[in-house]
Amino acid sequence: MTESGKHPLLQLQSMPIRDRKGYPPALAIREEASDLSSPPTSRDTTPPECVLPKVTPISDAGSRVEVCCSSSTQLVHQEKMSSVNQLVAGISHEINNPVNFIAGNLKYAEDYVSQLIDIIECYRQHYPVPVPAIQERLDDLDLDFVVADIQKLQTSMRVGADRMSQVVQSLRTFSRQEEAELKATDLHAGLDSTLMLLQHRLVAQYERPAIRLVKAYGEIPPVQCCASELNQVFMHLIGNAIEAIEAVFNAGAPELMTNYDPEIRIRTQLDGAHSVSICISDNGCGIPDESHIDIFQPFWTTKQFGQGSGMGLAISHQVITHHRGTLQYKPKMDSGAQFTITLPILQQVND
């Protein structure tokens, strides 16, 4: 309401501002106000002149499709990263408290059990012949077996608690939700946390033996990067290697698998004075020769319908490119695939 007590009429007009080739890179919104008591006046519908941001011209339809696919891949990646990191961080937080409770109380439980065993042994030394009622209970219990087995049970619980603590730490290292910005990161810690989360897929399965993991870590310095994004890349590449090995067993005859030793190799090394390289290779089914040029395209996949989104390698390639690095594929001479990541040690953030 204006000072005169009248209600103004507000009108919003939107119109595209086209560039020289007729494409609409921007949208202008004009707001107009008028008094309801005033007669309507003709409105100028000429698009207002404004300074357009500098844009890269897109010459043909193919380039437009490429830009659209790249934008779609980036949006999918950002949404996936956000969802996965929040999920992993939430799970690790919820598991962390009960795991610490179990691990912290195991020490006291071990001390209490040890003291009880000492008291029982002291009773047996001073009263070697118990009354018949106690002797009957001892025969039913098999006390010697219980004393020996409970110590093994404590050791198993300690190993399980340590394992859970390692899984929680791997989840937290993998998500790195608090480290969304560039930060000097130990790549070996990221690789180890990813391998910890994939450990259940590396062990022996019903249809195949265990996948042998060969780690050849070189001496590399911390790399300035977004740790959670690189861990996603490691997850995609190692997961693809496992699936390629499983495809060999699914397609091969059992008699031909007797001499097949599934293996994944991870090698890191200093690549010059200013970059490092991470090589992940396997002896799985490999990638068909005619598909080599398409492996980093969005929605490309060799899996059957419904078994994959076709975004893993595309997202990985985009993440590495965003870090000013390279992701290269090289088929192995015998069988399998090899992916090599090259990353600069320091990022040039001020371009």
pLDDT tens digits, residue range 218-229? 999 999 998 888
pLDDT on residue 221: 94
How many other β-carbons are positioned within 10 Å of the β-carbon of residue 59?
9
How high is the pLDDT of residue 269?
95
Q: Is 6 in contact with 37 (CB distance < 8 Å)?
A: yes
Q: What is the pLDDT of residue 130?
A: 86
Instruction: Please give the pLDDT value at position 45.
Output: 47
Give me the pLDDT at residue 232, please: 87
Residue 337 tokens read as 């695939």
Cα separation, 287 vs 291, whole angstroms: 7
pLDDT band at 264 (very low <50, low <70, confident <90, very high): very high
The answer to whether the CB of 341 falls within 8 A of the CB of 278 is yes
What's the CA gap between 107 and 343, in Å, rounded?
A: 44
The pLDDT value recorded for residue 26 is 47
Q: What is the mean pLDDT of residues 185-212?
A: 90
**Token duo for residue 141:** 């219990």
Share of the chain above pLDDT 70, in %: 64
Question: 28-51: per-residue pLDDT in tens?
Answer: 445 454 554 555 544 444 444 444
Residue 178: which pLDDT band, with cuts at 50, 70 and 90? Answer: low
The token pair at 78 is: 């950002």
Share of the chain above pLDDT 90, in %: 23
Mean pLDDT, range 52-60, rounded to an integer: 48
Give DSSP secondary structure letters for 114-134. HHHHHHHHHHHHH-SS--HHH
Contact 303, 201 (CB under 8 A): no
Domain ranges of the chain: 1-36, 87-175, 179-351
Q: Which two tokens stand for residue 275?
A: 């970059």
Q: Work out the burial of residue 341: count CB atoms within 10 Å of its CB; fewer than 13 is exposed, 13-18 middle, 19 or more buried.
A: buried
Strand partners, 217: 268
Mean pLDDT, the chain, whole residue set: 76
Cβ pair 240, 313 in contact under 8 A: yes
Does CATH number 3.30.565.10 belong to domain 179-351?
A: yes
Instruction: Write down the pLDDT at residue 56.
Output: 47
Per-residue pLDDT at 187 exceeds 90: yes
**To which residue do tokens 């970059």 refer?**
275
Phi/psi of residue 281, nearest 5 degrees: -130, 160
Lowest mean pLDDT among 84-88, 123-127, 260-264, 318-322: 84-88
Instruction: Give residue 332's region: left, alpha or beta (phi > 0; psi -120 to 50).
Output: beta
Angle at the Cα of 132 from the Cα atoms of 127 and 137, rounded to 5 degrees: 90
- Residue 274, pLDDT > 50, answer yes
Residue 93 phi/psi, 5-degree rounding, is: -70, -45
Cβ atoms 229, 269 nearer than 8 A: no
